[in-house]
Amino acid sequence: MKVAVSSAGEGKGSRLSPVFGRCPFFVIVDTESGEEKSVKNTAAGQMGGAGMTAGQLVGNEGANAVVTMAMGPRAFAVLGQLGIEVYEGKEGTVEENLELLNKKMLRKMDEASGPLAPGAGGRPMGPGKQRGGRA
Amino acid sequence: MRIAVTGGKGGTGKSTVATALAVELGKRHEVVLADADVECPDDHLILSIERKGFADVKLPLPAFDFEKCIKCGKCASTCRYNAIVQVKGKYPIFDPGLCNGCGACMLVCPAGAISRGQRKVGEIFRGEGHGISLFSGEMEVGYEEASPVVNALKEKIPKSEFEIIDTAAGTHCNVISALRGCDYAVAVTEPTPFGAHDLELILRLAAVLGVPAGVVVNRSDLGETGEVNKIAEKHGAEVIAEIPYSKEMLESYSRGEPVAGKGILGIAEMLEAMLK
Helices B14-26 and B262-275, interaxial angle, to 10°? Answer: 60
CA distances, B14 to each of B37, B143, B215 (Å):
10, 24, 11
Mutation target among A41, A52, A66, A116 for the B interface, most CBs of B within 10 A? A52
**Residues of A contacting chain B (CB within 8 angstroms):** 43, 46-50, 52-53, 55-56, 59-60, 74, 77-78, 81-82, 116, 118-123
Mean pLDDT of A10-39: 96
Task: Kindly report, residue by residue over A69-105, the tens digit of the pLDDT.
Answer: 999 988 999 999 999 999 999 999 999 999 999 999 9
Q: Identify the residue with better confidence: B262 or A69.
A: A69
Mean pLDDT of A27-40: 96
pLDDT of residue A131 exceeding 90: no
Q: Which domains does chain B have, with CATH numbers?
A: 2-57+121-275 (3.40.50.300), 66-112 (3.30.70.20)
Task: Kindly report, residue by residue over B46-82, the tens digit of the pLDDT.
Answer: 999 999 999 999 988 899 999 999 999 999 999 998 9
Sorted by where each begins, the domain ranges of chain A are 2-108
Of A77, A81, A120, the CB nearest to B82: A120
Of A46, A60, A123, the CB nearest to B82: A46
Q: What are phi and psi of B84, to 5 degrees?
A: -125, 130
Query: Is residue B131 within 8 Å of B26, Cβ to Cβ?
Result: yes
Task: Classify residue B183 as exposed, middle or buried by CB count within 10 Å of its CB (0-12, 13-18, 19+).
Answer: middle
Whether domain A2-108 has CATH 3.30.420.130 = yes
Q: What are phi and psi of B168, to 5 degrees?
A: -80, 175
Contact A121 B100 (CB under 8 A): yes
Task: Kindly report, residue by residue over A50-76, the tens digit of the pLDDT.
Answer: 999 999 999 999 999 999 999 998 899
Predicted-complex ipTM score: 0.80
Q: Identify the residue with better confidence: B262 or B113.
A: B113
Q: Please report which confidence band the pLDDT of residue A127 belongs to, taking 50, 70 and 90 as the band edges.
A: very low
Coil/strand/helix, residue B250: helix
Coil/strand/helix, residue B64: strand
pLDDT of residue B219 exceeding 80: yes
Mean pLDDT of B134-161: 92
Strand-strand pairing, A85-88 and A65-68: parallel
Those residues with Cβ within 8 angstroms of residue B55's Cβ, 6 or more apart along the chain or in another chain: B123, B124, B152, B156
Distance from C-alpha of B183 to C-alpha of B192, rounded to nearest angstrom: 28
Helix (H) or strand (E) holding B62: strand B52-64
Q: Please report which confidence band the pLDDT of residue A135 belongs to, taking 50, 70 and 90 as the band edges.
A: very low
Mutation target among B61, B95, B174 for the A interface, most CBs of A within 10 A? B95
Q: What is the pLDDT, as a whole number, of residue A125?
A: 29
Of B81, B87, B102, the CB nearest to A49: B81
Distance from C-alpha of B130 to C-alpha of B23, rounded to nearest angstrom: 6
Q: What is the pLDDT, as a whole number, of residue B99?
A: 84
Q: Mean pLDDT of all residues in chain A?
A: 86
- The CA distance from B204 to the nearest CA of chain A, in Å, is 23
Q: What is the pLDDT, as a whole number, of residue A113?
A: 82
pTM: 0.73
Distance from C-alpha of B151 to C-alpha of B146, rounded to nearest angstrom: 9
- Distance from first CA to last CA of chain B, Å, rounded? 10
Q: What is the pLDDT, as a whole number, of residue B67?
A: 95
Highest mean pLDDT among A119-123, B146-150, B205-209: B205-209
